Amino acid sequence: MLNRANRAELHIPDEVVIARPTGRDFADARTIPVSRGVPSDYAIVDFVLAPWVCAKLDHLTSHGGRAFIAGTPARYTEGFTRASDALLGALGHDRVNALLLGGDTTADLPWNGTKSTGGGSALHYLAYGTCPVFDALRTNALRWEATL
């Protein structure tokens, strides 16, 4: 998928928001560079979108296109919404055909659009450009056409 002309682009953040878990909540949230490492008593709770991603999101909302989120971007339900709000705002635009992939992602984010709980299938799709569900649908379509 990453070698195709219309290849997928993956965002791996340079900066993340970390916070110290305190039971059901988090404390001492701060932004750090990924290269610094996450202290053992902290968790990644959000991230900072790279400028190139913000530019892509602006282009997507003004020109339309396809996009999806695979993987929970943050601890949204605990109030860490920075990256998620930017992504959801762009993907929710009427010119954008968007899909949220993965059980945790679809459960955690307030999204009324198309979604799939197949996180493993999403990773397979990213790696190979297809997934078992799509392959089965294609096979069934060919069988159905053959019986007509």
pLDDT of residue 4: 64
Give this prediction's pTM.
0.74
32-74, pLDDT tens digit by residue? 999 999 999 999 999 999 999 999 999 999 999 888 777 777 8
Show the CA angle centred on residue 109, arms to residues 78 and 122, nearest 5°.
Answer: 125
* Residue stretches of the chain with pLDDT short of 50: none
pLDDT of residue 62: 94
Q: How far is CA 60 from CA 48, 111, 117, 137, in A?
A: 19, 18, 24, 29
